[in-house]
Amino acid sequence: MWTSPDAQTWTLGRDLTTDVVWSMPFVDVTWGNGRFVALDGPAYGGDSPVFTSVNGFSWRPDSTIANLPLMTAVTSKPGEFAAVGATYLQTSPDGLTWAVSPLSSCGNGELWDGSRYVAVGTSICKSR
């Protein structure tokens, strides 16, 4: 986990691979609703666990452990986290329990701008 006060100088704060059982690095992280939520790379079988932390150092896996589809971007708005991947959207009120629904082509990046989600992908984002 790297941290920076100015996005110019970065400091390795902690090597998370020694703390968590998943061998893949986090692919995205967000802060919201009093906690960090990080997406892990694909685990064995292609599942993608989500981890939460209140301090950025101690992490715990989501309550479904490794049954979530691969997600590549996560963001938050008040009262909700949302993660997107190539074929699914996941939403969560707390970063621990997730609802999964089909989605197409919005899996490269995502953010909440204060009034709407903005996502980028390879074609038109749409629920299936």
How much is the pTM? 0.79
* Residue 40 pLDDT: 79
Under a CB-based contact definition with an 8 Å cutoff, are residues 20 and 51 in contact? Answer: yes
The alpha carbon dihedral of 95, 50, 97, 119 has a sign of positive
> Mean pLDDT by 10-residue block, N- to C-terminus, for the chain (128 residues)?
82 60 73 90 68 82 68 91 85 88 75 86 59
Residue 39 and residue 27 in contact, taking contact as beta carbons nearer than 8 Å: yes
Q: Are 94 and 120 in contact (CB under 8 A)?
A: no
pLDDT at 128: 43
pLDDT at 122: 67
